[in-house]
Amino acid sequence: MSTTYRSTRSADASQALSFEDVVMTGLAKDGGLFLPSQIPKVDAATLQRWSGLSFTELAFEVLRLYIDPKEISDADLKSLVDRSYSTFRAPEVTPIRKLTDDLYLLELFHGPTYAFKDVALQFVGNLFEFFLTRANGDKTEGRQQITVVGATSGDTGSAAIYGLRGKKDVSVFILYPTGRISPIQEEQMTTVPDANVHTLSVKGTFDDCQDIVKQIFGDAEFNSKYHVGAVNSINWARILAQQTYYFYSYFQLLKQKPDAKVRFVVPSGNFGDILAGYYATKMGLPADRLVIATNENDILDRFMKSGRYEKNAEAGVKATYSPAMDILISSNFERLLWYLARDSVAKGDDAAAGTVLGQWMDQLKSTGSVEVPQEVLAGARTLFDSNRVDNTETVATIKQIYDDHDYVIDPHTAIGVKTSQKCAAAGDNATYISLSTAHPAKFSEVVNKALDSNPNYSFDRDVLPDELKALASQEKRIKLIDEASVDKVKQAIIDELGH
Ligand SMILES: *Cc1c(COP(=O)(O)O)cnc(C)c1O
C-alpha cells in the first residue's frame, strides 16, 4: 500500500504529499492540517499477533502502515524507533499501573523530560535528522538546515529540546517568560549542554513569547534565510507516534483482564493525544469509548454538549493548575472535524469534506464560533464522551489518590482520573485506562498544595526523582532578552547561528 497525505482544507482529493513533506512542513499551504489519504485497517489476526510485541516492535508495525517503504526502509524505520525509545527509563516504555479493578493509569512520563510529549518528540527529532542527513549526504557546503523556534510556558519546551539536542543540521531556540516558569522547568531546559540548543529567557509574558514566535514565522525574509521550523502539536509525526501506546496499553490490560470493555480517558488540550486514540480505533483497536477530559478551558467539552465549536475569546485563556491544557482552541480538532464532516454531510466524499471544513474554519476565524449540523455532532458522540474538571476537583483528586493508593499523580493526570471516576459512577461495567501525561515532580506547587497536609508526605523523598534533583547543581546556559522585542530575539538567533 502506498501512503500519501493531503490537507484538511483542500477540495483536491488527489493531493499526494509524501510523509517527508508533511513532517518537514508541519502545516499545509492552505492553512489546513495534513491527513493520511486513508486510515490503514488491521484485522483480528494482526491484532492477535501485535498483542505479543514489545513497545518498540509494535511502534514499528504501526508506523510502517503510514510511511511508504520507498520513503523509509524497514531497516531505517527500525533504527529510528529503537533510538527514539532507548532514552526511556521504563523497559515497557509506557507501562500501565492498576489503581482499582476498573481504573488503570497509562504512565506516559518515563521519557527524558518526564512528560508524555517525549513519546512523540523523541521520534520527531530523529526523523528531522534522518531527512536532513539524507538530503545533505556528506556535502560540506550548502547543507540544508533547519532552525526550530518555539515558545513555552514551561512544560513543553524541554520535550522539544530533548528531542532535538545534538541533531545534525538542526538548531533549536526556545523562548520562555523570565521568572514565570518553575525552577525545575527552567533547569531542565537550560542545563542541556549541546551546542545546537539555545534557551532565550524573555522579559515578558508567555503571550509575548508566542507573539514573537508568530512574527518570526511570518517574516518571509528571515524564514527563507534560516529555514524556520516548528515541532508543535499539529505535526503529523507526533499524532502518528502517539498511536502506539493505545494499542500497547490495550494489549497489556487484556492480559490482566481478558474480557474488559476498555475506555480511554485523555487529559486534553490541543487534542493531539486523544486524536491518536481516534486513529488507533479507526484502524481496528477495539476501544469501547474515548473520553475527552478538559480543565476549565473547556471548548471541547462545550462542543460535545452543544455542537458549537466556540472560542471563549472574551474570558481569554484561564490559567489553571494544569497549564499544558490551557488553550482557547484545540488545534488538532480540525482533523477530527474533517472525518466527521466526510462521514456525514459530505456523504463519504473526501473532496466535499475539504470544502465543508474550509468553510467551517473560515467562519471560526472570522466570528470565533462555528455550529456544526446535528448529524456531525451525533457522529462524534458515537465514539467520544467528554467531561470538565475544575481546579478544586484537581487538587482533591491528587489527595484522594495519594490517600487511597499511596501514589502521587500530577494535576493533568488528575483531570483524567477525576473524569474516569465520574464516568465509572454512571455504571456500564467498563474498565478505564486513564492517560497519565506528566510526572508529578514537574508540577510541585499544585502537588504540594494537595498533599502538604499529610504528615507523612515529603516531596523531596516521595516525588522528586534523583535525576531532576541533580539538575539544580548543573551549569545553566541562558540568554537573557531584556525586552519582549522580536528584533532582539531575531538578533539573538543570528548571533548564535553565526551567519
Ligand atoms: C500537552 C499536554 C497535555 C495535552 O495534550 P494534547 O495533545 O494537547 O491534547 C496534557 N498533559 C500534559 C502534561 C501535556 O504536556
Tell me the residue type at 487.
D
Between CA 213 and CA 174 the distance in angstroms is 9
Beta carbons within 10 angstroms of residue 58's beta carbon: 21
CA of 410, closest atom in ligand 1: 13
pLDDT band at 59 (very low <50, low <70, confident <90, very high): very high
Structure confidence at residue 26 (pLDDT): 85
**pLDDT tens digits, one per residue of 330-367:** 999 999 999 999 999 999 999 999 999 999 999 999 99
Structure confidence at residue 1 (pLDDT): 56
**pLDDT tens digits, one per residue of 264-299:** 999 999 999 999 999 999 999 999 999 999 999 999
**pLDDT tens digits, one per residue of 138-159:** 999 889 999 999 998 877 899 9
Between CA 478 and CA 473 the distance in angstroms is 15
**Pocket residues: Cβ below 6 A from ligand 1:** 115-117, 155-156, 233, 267-273, 324-325, 412, 437-438
CA of 156, closest atom in ligand 1: 15
Question: Rounded to the nearest whole angstrom, what is the distance from the C-alpha of residue 201 to the centroid of ligand 1?
Answer: 23
Across all residues in the chain, what is the average pLDDT? Answer: 95
If one residue of 107, 235, 325 were mutated to test the ligand 1 pocket, choosing by the most ligand atoms within 8 A of its CB, it would be: 325
Strand intervals (E) in 306-383: 308-310, 369-371
- Kindly report the protein residue whose alpha carbon is nearest to atom 8 of ligand 1: 270
Section 383-389 average pLDDT: 98
**pLDDT tens digits, one per residue of 166-179:** 999 999 999 999 98
User: Which residues are designated catalytic?
Assistant: 117
DSSP string, 79-132: HHHHHHHTT-SSTTSS-EEEEETTEEEEE---STTSBTHHHHHHHHHHHHHHHH
Question: Rounded to the nearest whole angstrom, what is the distance from the C-alpha of residue 273 to the centroid of ligand 1?
Answer: 7
Contacts for 488 with CB less than 8 Å, ≥ 6 apart: 481, 482
Q: CATH topology for 145-226+465-498?
A: Rossmann fold (3.40.50)
- Kindly report the protein residue whose alpha carbon is nearest to atom 14 of ligand 1: 324
What does pTM read for this prediction? 0.96
Tell me the residue type at 428.
D
Angstrom CA distances, 166 to 125, 169, 172, 229, 499, stand at 10, 9, 10, 16, 19
Nearest to 8 by CA among 27, 19, 486: 27
- Kindly report the protein residue whose alpha carbon is nearest to atom 1 of ligand 1: 324
Between CA 113 and CA 116 the distance in angstroms is 9
CA of 155, closest atom in ligand 1: 15
Nearest to 416 by CA among 265, 277, 250, 300: 265
Question: Rounded to the nearest whole angstrom, what is the distance from the C-alpha of residue 107 to the centroid of ligand 1?
Answer: 13
Beta carbons within 10 angstroms of residue 316's beta carbon: 11
Between CA 13 and CA 322 the distance in angstroms is 39
**pLDDT tens digits, one per residue of 308-329:** 999 987 888 899 999 999 988 9
CA of 268, closest atom in ligand 1: 9
Structure confidence at residue 2 (pLDDT): 66
Exposed/middle/buried for residue 338 (C-beta within 10 Å: 0-12, 13-18, 19+): buried
- Reduce the DSSP state of residue 370 to 3 states and report it: strand
- Per-domain residue ranges for the chain? 96-112+237-447, 145-226+465-498
Question: Rounded to the nearest whole angstrom, what is the distance from the C-alpha of residue 491 to the centroid of ligand 1?
Answer: 32
Question: Rounded to the nearest whole angstrom, what is the distance from the C-alpha of residue 322 to the centroid of ligand 1?
Answer: 9
pLDDT at 248 over 60: yes
pLDDT band at 182 (very low <50, low <70, confident <90, very high): confident
- Kindly report the protein residue whose alpha carbon is nearest to atom 15 of ligand 1: 324
Structure confidence at residue 110 (pLDDT): 98
Instruction: Tell which CATH architecture fits domain 96-112+237-447.
Output: 3-Layer(aba) Sandwich (3.40)
- Intrachain domains 96-112+237-447 and 145-226+465-498 with the same fold: yes
Contacts for 359 with CB less than 8 Å, ≥ 6 apart: none
CA of 327, closest atom in ligand 1: 8
Structure confidence at residue 66 (pLDDT): 97
Section 197-219 average pLDDT: 91
133: its cell numbers:
542527513
Angstrom CA distances, 494 to 21, 44, 132, 196, stand at 26, 54, 21, 13
Question: Rounded to the nearest whole angstrom, what is the distance from the C-alpha of residue 247 to the centroid of ligand 1?
Answer: 19
